[in-house]
Chain A
Amino acid sequence: EAQVTQNPRYLITVTGKKLTVTCSQNMNHEYMSWYRQDPGLGLRQIYYSMNVEVTDKGDVPEGYKVSRKEKRNFPLILESPSPNQTSLYFCASSYGQSNEQYFGPGTRLTVT
């Protein structure tokens, strides 16, 4: 089954404790991206990747890092999480940045 998976689905952590949210897709998509969704603000893009080893900042990249060492994986790294990074995070992939995006189920992160 074609899908985008994210782990963990729920995470509660404390300020400053490094964490990684994994994202994997099995559709051989070149393009992958991360979004955060906050009430009243909609979805905002954090980082995107056009292909392996090619990443770039989205609209809200501060406090986040990504890597794209393999085509199927695009982890999101929070080196020192802060409470303002409490949010619902989505990973998405597609054949090209202009095409239909396939979204993961979301990761709800709470930073205390």
Chain B
Amino acid sequence: SQQGEEDPQALSIQEGENATMNCSYKTSINNLQWYRQNSGRGLVHLILIRSNEREKHSGRLRVTLDTSKKSSSLLITASRAADTASYFCATDAWSLRASGYSTLTFGKGTMLLVSP
């Protein structure tokens, strides 16, 4: 399966600390995306990094991609209680089922708890 797997499954930190989540995948990808989900709500897109990019920043978010290791990391700096959510990586790769199409496959997520 080309599904990404996040690590750790759960992470608990204090406000102000940095949070790092990792994602590993198995096949070559076109891009990798990170999403956030507040409890029971729809996912919200955070950042997209293409296979030819190594690092990307957006506000307090920093994403790295290492295609040789087939892994990515999401760093949230100076975390806040409002960052409490589940974080998912999603890999976009050419479909094994439908020639000429790519599919986006989500991992199972990392649950982040930021305590005040």
Residues on A facing B (Cβ under 8 Å)? 4, 35, 40-45, 48, 50, 56-59, 88, 90, 92, 97-106, 108
Contact = CB atoms under 8 A, between A and B. Distances in A.
Contacts of B35: 101, 103
Interface in B33-53: 33, 35, 40-45, 48
B108 A40 contact: yes
B27 interface: no
Interface string B92-109: 100001100111111111
B41 A99 contact: no
A72 B88 CA distance: 26
Interface string B1-41: 00100000000000000000000000000110101000011
B41 A100 contact: no
Contacts, number: 61
B43 to A, nearest CB: 5
B106 A103 contact: no
Contacts of B40: 88, 106, 108
Given A103-B44, A105-B42, A97 B92 contact: yes
